[in-house]
Amino acid sequence: MQVTSSVRKPLITGGKTVHDVTEDICRQVEAKPSKLWGMAFGISVVTLLIGFVAVATTLWEGIGMWGLNKTVGWAWDITNFVWWVGIGHAGTLISAILLLFRQKWRMSINRAAEAMTIFAVICAAQFPILHMGRPWLGAYWALPLPNTFGSLWVNFNSPLLWDVFAISTYFSVSLVFWFLGLVPDFATIRDRATGIRKKIYGALSLGWDGAAKTWSRYESVSLILAGLATPLVLSVHTIVSFDFATSVIPGWHTTIFPPYFVAGAIFSGFAMVLTLMLVTRAVFKLQDYITIEHIEMMNIVIIVTGSIVGIAYITEFFIAWYSGVPAEQYAFYNRMQGPYWWAYWSMMTCNVISPQLFWFKKIRTSIAATFILSIIVNIGMWFERFVIIVTSLHRDFLPSSWAMFYPTIYDVGVYVFTFGLFFTAFFLFAKFFPVINMAEVKSIIKSSSEKTA
């Protein structure tokens, strides 16, 4: 019943059988951790611990330890928050939007991309939580909980509060989507395991037995979840952009922000997926599952979203000039020529110029080039947020309050902490969970592997 096209290359190479998929993906879950994995995991944990010193100091002494001042009251922390949330967009985009578009190449990468999403959102959440200063009281500020002041409720007119709802909904729905996808694969591991491992994976698999009735329901749940997650992904960065766009700060007060932020988020998210997948592919020898074809597809998404981001930058400039508002014009002139010119030009080079290299087929099918460019894109996207946030704030309405922002070691330390957290979680995932969705890949083995005549 399957229609195979002679134009499309096979998605899974190496003439794999369904049983080979089980063997290849379960191998690293069942084997003893490799030395390479142990080293990588060890470095992540050390990074996490070093970063934790900065987190503990921030909590103990207060956020005065950060480099913020009266003029620049938002800087490094929110830059990191937006950066991590942006990275966290690729996973659910790949599994939800590409599922709705029936893009089968997603099947080899969606599991790891979703895991990355979840860990990135956890990292992002560290910043708003820490900037509260006293996070243990934070629930009262962030959630509509009854309290002894009236109750004085939270302000539902505030984009910052919308963010609380958007990020927590996004996190929990992505987590459910990811876990549901893992259930049949946990059952596979359970049926191959013995002893305590069988018990643990048995509990995680929720007693999955592969019945046709359950699969039928499962498919309809996946489809609806994808349908729900699609507007959700787009809403999250839209709402993050509202944090800025609904203010009256020159450089922030623009209607272009929501689509521009969403495109930027997908752009950086795909770059991070590529960075991680290229490493995972090499370490776990998954070259037959994540092929050059997959890498090329992702690079194409990067060109598209990167170009949208480039057009957004140019549009912002044009509108600043065209609006005739001097404050707006100055904000953009200052970005290009002011004291933060280097941040601006790093952003422009990394985000607008470098992804255009992917127009060359040689470059977008080269693993080394893709790896380097994926890291450059994420550096660029960090600078984008830094430029938007700091350059707009540091030239206040009163020239007497003009100031510069200098990060302290604690600003840097908290960022390092989130890197430690992210990689610790990712390496644990890569070792103990199947990094590729076995059940989904098995379903396309017959129709899109080399063996089919």
Partner 1 sequence: MSDSKNFLLGVFDDEDVLLKAVGKIRGAGVKIHEVYSPFPVHGLDEELGYKRSRLPIAAFMFGALGTTLALVMQIWMLGVDWPMIIGGKNFIALPDFVPVTFELTVLLAAFGMVGTFLVASDLKPWKDPKMLDLRITDDKHVMAIDLGKNAGLQEAQINALLKDSGAVEVNNKNVEE
Greatest Cα pair distance, the chain, in angstroms, is 75
If binding is defined by CB under 8 A, does position 361 make contact with partner 1? no
Say if residues 356 and 309 touch (Cβ distance below 8 Å).
Answer: no
| Minimal distance, residue 102 CB to partner 1, in Å | 12
If binding is defined by CB under 8 A, does position 359 make contact with partner 1? no
Q: Give burial (CB, 10 Å; 0-12/13-18/19+) of 80.
A: buried
| Minimal distance, residue 93 CB to partner 1, in Å | 15
| Residue in 73, 210, 326, 339 binding partner 1, rule: CB under 8 A | 210
| Minimal distance, residue 264 CB to partner 1, in Å | 19
Residue placing its CB nearer to partner 1 in the complex, 56 or 228: 228
* CA quadruple 372, 373, 378, 380: dihedral sign: positive
- For residue 110, give the amino acid letter: N
Q: Which of 230, 362, 348, 345 is nearest to 299 (CA)?
A: 362
If binding is defined by CB under 8 A, does position 224 make contact with partner 1? yes
Residue placing its CB nearer to partner 1 in the complex, 77 or 243: 243
408 vs 345: CA distance, rounded Å: 23
Q: Which of 395, 289, 328, 378 is nearest to 13 (CA)?
A: 289
If binding is defined by CB under 8 A, does position 3 make contact with partner 1? no
| Minimal distance, residue 154 CB to partner 1, in Å | 8
If binding is defined by CB under 8 A, does position 183 make contact with partner 1? yes
160 vs 239: CA distance, rounded Å: 8
Residue placing its CB nearer to partner 1 in the complex, 173 or 369: 173
If binding is defined by CB under 8 A, does position 217 make contact with partner 1? yes
Residues 42-81: x where in contact with partner 1 by CB under 8 A, - otherwise, as a string? ----------------------------------------
* CA quadruple 61, 414, 265, 109: dihedral sign: negative
Q: Tell me the two tokens of residue 330.
A: 């100055």
| Residue in 49, 129, 139, 176 binding partner 1, rule: CB under 8 A | 176
Q: Which of 145, 126, 144 is nearest to 135 (CA)?
A: 126
109 vs 95: CA distance, rounded Å: 9
Name residue 398's beta-bridge partners: none
If binding is defined by CB under 8 A, does position 204 make contact with partner 1? yes
If binding is defined by CB under 8 A, does position 235 make contact with partner 1? yes
Mapping DSSP onto H, E and C, the string for 366-406 reads CHHHHHHHHHHHHHHHHHHHHHHHHHHHHCCCCHHHCCCCC
If binding is defined by CB under 8 A, does position 228 make contact with partner 1? yes
Q: Tell me the two tokens of residue 212.
A: 């046709």
177 vs 262: CA distance, rounded Å: 21
If binding is defined by CB under 8 A, does position 242 make contact with partner 1? yes
| Minimal distance, residue 253 CB to partner 1, in Å | 14
Say if residues 390 and 68 touch (Cβ distance below 8 Å).
Answer: no
Residues 144-173: x where in contact with partner 1 by CB under 8 A, - otherwise, as a string? x-----xxxxxxxx-x-xx--xx--x--xx
DSSP state of 158: -
Residue placing its CB nearer to partner 1 in the complex, 176 or 314: 176
Say if residues 252 and 242 touch (Cβ distance below 8 Å).
Answer: no
| Residue in 25, 93, 123, 225 binding partner 1, rule: CB under 8 A | 225
| Residue in 4, 34, 103, 216 binding partner 1, rule: CB under 8 A | 216
| Minimal distance, residue 85 CB to partner 1, in Å | 14
Residue placing its CB nearer to partner 1 in the complex, 5 or 194: 194
Number of residues that bind partner 1 (CB under 8 A): 67
Looking at residues 421 to 450 of the shown chain, list those that interact with partner 1 (rule: CB under 8 A): 439-440, 442-443, 446
Instruction: Strands of 215-273 (E only): list them.
Output: none
How distant, in Å, are the alpha carbons of 204, 269, 343, 378 from that of 373? 37, 13, 18, 9
126 vs 413: CA distance, rounded Å: 12
| Residue in 35, 102, 213, 362 binding partner 1, rule: CB under 8 A | 213
DSSP state of 101: T
Residue placing its CB nearer to partner 1 in the complex, 226 or 377: 226
Residue placing its CB nearer to partner 1 in the complex, 228 or 404: 228
If binding is defined by CB under 8 A, does position 1 make contact with partner 1? yes
Looking at residues 290 to 349 of the shown chain, list those that interact with partner 1 (rule: CB under 8 A): none
- List residues binding partner 1 (CB under 8 A): 1, 17-19, 21-22, 144, 150-157, 159, 161-162, 165-166, 169, 172-173, 176-177, 180, 183-184, 187-188, 190-192, 202-221, 224-225, 228-229, 231-232, 235, 239, 242, 439-440, 442-443, 446
